Structure 1
Amino acid sequence: MKDTKITEEAPFTCEECGAVNADQDGCEYVGGKLLCQSCMDYFLEHAPRVLECDAGVGVDETEPYYWISGYGWHPYDLPERFPYADVVYRKIDGWRGYHEPSVKDGFLLKGWTTGYIDSTVGRKHLVNDFLEMIQKPELCPCNLWIYTARTSNIFSLGIGIAFKTTDAALLDEWLRDHLSCGLVKLQIALS
């Protein structure tokens, strides 16, 4: 990993857009490559994002992790417990697609949800209720990693819920107690 210090005298070239920048404020290394502020802003606005949800603490929205396609995870110094390996963009056809995460070890529930629930996608209420409940620190049963990404459908959001294999029984029991469903029903609701 490059750990090059940027000097005030030397301009730099952004690896993404190719622009030569004299102003070095806001530039960052991602995947060993230097990106300008404009490119970083764009990537962070559109990138799939992961939030950590600690048992007894809740969701920490102050330190998200981002998947920047072609560059990797940002920030690059991921904690050892970080479960996601990478993200692959899956094209459905010429203009539609979605980002699909994979995990290193453990379980991953994945699918999508929407804020526009009608009779055709009523099962999504369960997903949205789950995501709302884990925001409350006292209700989060185990450490979870929540992955979200835009899809080509503007009304939908890709979701991944990663957790340790050893926490599967605890999470299943918690789901049954709080949402009257188990892991299987939550995965069905995500699909």
Structure 2
Amino acid sequence: MGRLVVLAGPTAVGKGTLLKALLERHPEVWVSVSATTRPARPGERDGEDYHFVSDERFDALVSDDGLLEWATVHGKHRYGTPRQPVLDAVAAGRPAVLEIDLDGVRQVRTTMPEAHFVFVAPPSWEELVRRLEGRGTESEAERERRLTTARQEMAAINEFDEVVVNDDLDAALERLEGIVLEAR
């Protein structure tokens, strides 16, 4: 069996950057592609970045127990992890990673308590705000919504097995790499 690592952390903390770098070093690592009801951002590709689905399709996945976890994120769009690809990757012995929100973490902890839960933290609140503003991909209202969610996520840091502070990308990547590949 492979190891399932569940990764979470506030918006703009660098989860995606860490995962991209991890996959460049270790293409054998399987990363789940979430389904979402939000529209694609410029440059995102369906099936690669996310599975962009309608509200009706998302409802069907929920009712058919096709999602390992799902939640409404930032009070607006729904995200979820398709169940079967996760089970297949773990059964095949691949190191597997889910990048999900706090509600999803809590659901996976109930359904797959053997998973390893990792929180990616910013070096400071001020740095998190700077990174979010620097992305320039969200409106002011969306940034405020995301920061409200980030405060709730930071308050739940003790619910995780490990914390990786993303203050230096190389050091954070090395730490995450060790966690994900530990079971091999």
Same fold by TM (over 0.5)?
A: no
Bigger relative CO (Cα 8 Å, ≥ 6 apart):
2
TM-score by length of 2: 0.25
Bigger fraction of residues in strand? 1
Bigger fraction of residues in helix? 2
TM-score by length of 1: 0.24
